[in-house]
């Protein structure tokens, strides 16, 4: 009897938790471009390496598109 009661409470708590969770990814094109865009990549040595590696591999896009 107690086990069923505890299971019901656990299910209710899980449902409430799932409904109250917020999204972690809020898409924003400008913010994405400012942190992962071509101009940001070309400012640092590591970013330049990333761009070169993507070109060498033949990627369709070297960085993100607007």
CATH number, domain of 41, equals: 1.10.287.3980
**pTM beyond 0.85, yes or no:** no
In a domain, 5, yes or no: no
Quote the number of domains for the chain. 1
4 domain residue, yes or no: no
Q: Is the Cβ–Cβ distance between 63 and 37 less than 8 Å?
A: yes
| Three-class secondary structure assignment of 5-37 | HHHHHHHHHHHHHHHHCCCCCCCCHHHHHHHHC
Q: What is the mean pLDDT of each run of 10 residues along the chain (66 residues)?
A: 75 66 89 94 96 96 84
pLDDT, position 14? 65
List the domain range (segments joined by +) for residue 41.
29-66
Q: Give the DSSP H or E segment for 54.
A: helix 45-57
pLDDT at 46: 97
């Amino acid at each position: 009897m107690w086990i069923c009661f505890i299971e019901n409470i656990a299910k209710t708590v899980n449902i409430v938790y799932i409904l109250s969770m917020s999204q972690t990814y809020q898409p924003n094109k400008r913010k994405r471009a400012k942190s992962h865009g071509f101009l940001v990549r070309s400012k640092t040595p590591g970013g330049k390496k990333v761009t070169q590696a993507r070109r060498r591999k033949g990627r369709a896009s070297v960085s993100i598109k607007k």
